Structure 1
Amino acid sequence: FGSVFEGVLADGSRVAVKRVSDSRQVHKLFEAEVVAIISIHHKNLVRLRGFCCPNLLVYEFVANGSLDRWLFDDDKFLDCDARYSIALDIARGLSYLHDGCRTRVLHLDIKPQNILLDEKFRAKISDFGLSRQGELQAVDEMIIRGTPGYMAPEWLHFQISDKLDTYSFGV
């Protein structure tokens, strides 16, 4: 949904800046992402620091990158304790999205690429671009959500619930 760049703010803090593509659909997704995460704060969720319309999102910088690099790169290694801790962090983040927010948030694309690891290897869930808040309003807008291989069978019957995130997390 866009490119991500590393940046440094005037105060010296590092940030990740996501530039979204320029199209009508993407502007709708940009607005959805800002609305979905502007008021959500949890230690296991990547924090939105700000945004610049029409297409820049500024996030906290997460030093160790995405979980997929640590799972699938032969040069990197996570021991059992680290993997266990990461799994708990992801579960805590999902629990907060599903039950701790004022309005339930469904991520709908939990996968290793959307889990970032900070300098202490604490996991943070990222990429809320197509997240859903509250109840499903239109099935058509949900058809494109998810990554093959991480999508629950319930998608075939449009049974949209927090169980989809739980399934993807388990994969």
Structure 2
Amino acid sequence: MSPTCLGNPTWPKLRVISHDEGVSVPRFDGVEIPVPRFAADDGSADPVLAEALRLFGEGVGSREQVNVALGAARVLVPMVALLEEAEIGADGILRDKSSSMATVSMVGSDGRRALLAFTSMELMRAFNREARPAPALGAEACRSALEQGDDALLVDCQGPVRFAVTASDLVELASRSST
């Protein structure tokens, strides 16, 4: 924007208001701008979930411990761009005409599909550098898997500990998310 636009006296004034919880909420003349739910997220794995997965991987933790930690932890569901329509420009170069974003699922050798989720940006980037993260609570990711017809939620598909939430565990975790 040009400096003259920024100085326009008819534009709403920005104020930052502090709430009791200590969260500052930007407002434009009475219109509240919501603070993202995971605003302070640095992309690291939730420590409780990481520990539960580590113990499970070592054979001393249980599926239930991982499920409890997963339900309340932030996970990253990868989103990728899907080309829907392309066109060749006058210069002969193929260009996107329209595209959309989609979640990523894997299909097992038995035909079952799993929605992917990752505990950290590092692990998601190792899987696909082009993917964009959609942060969600584990319970919400389970609900999304069910809603799109997947059979499982597969956490950290490339490790260090791969964990699949299936069947009744998937339904139970999904029920923990608000609609």
TM-score (norm 2): 0.24
Flag the structure with more relative contact order, 1 or 2, with Cα contacts below 8 A and sequence separation at least 6.
Answer: 1
Which protein has the larger Cα radius of gyration, Structure 1 or Structure 2? 2
